[in-house]
Amino acid sequence: MSDSTKSISPPPRVLVTKIGLDGHDRGSRIVAAYLRDAGMEVIYTAPWQKIEAVVKLAVEEDVDVIGVSSLATDHLLLPDLMAALGEAGFGHVKVVAGGIIPDGDEAELLRAGVSRVFHPGSPREDIVATVGDLATQARAACANG
Amino acid sequence: MTDRSAAAPASGKLLERLLDGEPAALAKAITLVENAGAQAAQVLAGIQSRLGHALVIGVTGPPGAGKSTLVSALVGELRRRGKSLGILAVDPSSPLSGGAILGDRIRMAEHACDPEVFVRSLATRGHVGGLSSAAARVVDLMDAAGKDVVIVETVGAGQSDVEVAQLVDVTVVVCAPGLGDEIQAIKAGILEIADVLVVNKADLPNAERTMAQLEGMLSLRDPGAAGVPVIATTATEGRGVAELSDAVEARAEALGGSVRAARTLAQIRLQIADSAAELLRRRLNDSDDEGLHALCRSVQRGELDLENAARRYLSDYLVNKA
């Protein structure tokens, strides 16, 4: 048993969503369950979200991290999402992407401000640890900004 | 982990933006209150004079009765009537990991881009009773931000999850036909807190029987409880939702303005007790006091029972540092 008698609080708040027209949401459901089991609060949406709706949701729910699943080129909308978050004054929120994202597109997403791209086969531990670290960074950035 | 309470700008400015109805400010204030951040008390003190505008509706009922779908339909109807809305949707935290899937927004996609509809999902974070411990304060924040109507949707509720009735003006209890014993499950508990009863999924077989059962049960209650309407809805098609809105508004009028403002001293005392217990729980969990670690180890080794550990904490560690 751990020597610490404390539990971590408050839990990170993470939005798991899909933008665009692709409805394959098995992957996003699995990742949502990973994050829940790691003690995070996951706001889960149906697929087919508009960028405008994702920004409104991120603001209202005051999330730390947004995870966008993309299996059919919807990741190309992510630069628009990053710009819209910045315009809404929520540039401190960290965004990660996962799914089928060609290597050639990854650099472009990272340039647009996406923090991390998870490819097929990404281990649970990596996803959970990365999202947890990014949540901590988002809170620090928000506090300093 | 970074303290989220430091995440907001100075509380004075936040308060001003909140009272102006700015969504980002309302969202930050809710985070402060939920995490009991240092500025939360200041913000809550600052809104006290601005409370009482909103009609607060509670929606509760067993899991799968269609609460979120009905709330979404109700929001649509109230938007047509020109109301701005705040929605507080509560889902359970895992008792094992502390994590949660907050999925009530899935059923509210219709309002995803409507600036007059502000939705916030809260996890119960170990609180029992169907709500989050911050729920009453979050309702106040939405009220202060100028929402005309605030809707509180509980977790899928069981017999004893009646807490919602204490912080809303009108309580709507939602049931569905075909859940069989579900009627049995609610009849002694949450049925008694209903100001309006709804049989949702009224397009299903047995809906009429469920209506009759509920009306029968109501007829057995004391005459003072008369006047609770039973309304059939099919939320997915919007049927019965206008009648529900009418019933809620009529009930609010019959109850005479803001019921929340008419809390009794005994209710206020209970709410203070709840808040004090929450503060204590949080302080205990966040404390780095070596004496507290020692108490935990004593209980683990079986040298001390929980009751006496709690008493010793209260007398030795808390009182000295209050």
Domain regions of chain A by residue span? 13-144
* pLDDT at A3 (0 to 100): 45
Residues in B closer than 8 angstroms to A142, CB to CB, are: 7
In the numeric block, which tokens belong to residue A46? 């149906």
Residues 163-202 of B with CB under 8 A from A: none
The answer on B293 and B187 residing in a single domain is: no
The answer on B165 and B147 residing in a single domain is: yes
The answer on B300 and B216 residing in a single domain is: no
The answer on B191 and B42 residing in a single domain is: no
CB contact under 8 A, B99 and A38: yes
- Measure Cα distances from B66 to A124, B16, B69, B154, B176 in Å: 33, 37, 5, 12, 8
**Closest by Cβ to B1, choosing from A5, A8, A56:** A8
Q: Which residue range(s) make up the domain with B218?
A: 51-262
Residue with tokens 């933008």: A19
User: Strand, helix or coil at B239?
Assistant: strand
Among residues B230, B177, B232, which one has the least CA distance to residue B205? Answer: B177
The answer on B309 and B256 residing in a single domain is: no
Q: Which of A37, A62, A94, A137 to mutate against chain B (most B CBs within 10 Å)?
A: A62
Top-confidence range, A127-141, B6-20, B26-40, B250-264: A127-141
Going by pLDDT thresholds of 50, 70 and 90, the confidence category of residue B5 is very low
Higher pLDDT, B186 or A26: A26
Instruction: Search chain A and give the residue with CA nearest B288.
Output: A6
The answer on B216 and B96 residing in a single domain is: yes
* pLDDT at B315 (0 to 100): 87
CB contact under 8 A, B7 and A43: no
Across the A:B interface, residue pairs with CB atoms under 8 Å apart total 112
Residue with tokens 């540092």: B321
The answer on B307 and B254 residing in a single domain is: no
Q: Which of A29, A44, A87, A124 to mutate against chain B (most B CBs within 10 Å)?
A: A44
User: Strand, helix or coil at B97?
Assistant: coil
User: Strand, helix or coil at A132?
Assistant: helix
The answer on B275 and B135 residing in a single domain is: no
**B121 inside 8 A of chain A by CB:** yes
Residues 94-113 of B with CB under 8 A from A: 94, 96-103, 105-106, 109, 112-113
Q: What is the ipTM of this complex?
A: 0.90
CB B36 within 8 A of CB B282: yes
CB contact under 8 A, B94 and A8: no
The answer on B253 and B113 residing in a single domain is: yes
CB A68 within 8 A of CB A50: no
The answer on B280 and B255 residing in a single domain is: no
CB contact under 8 A, B101 and A10: no
CB contact under 8 A, A9 and B286: yes
pLDDT tens track for B90-115:
988 888 888 898 988 888 888 989 99
Fold for domain A13-144?
Rossmann fold (3.40.50)
**Strands across the sheet containing A116-118:** A116-118, A94-99, A65-70, A13-17, A41-44, B100-102
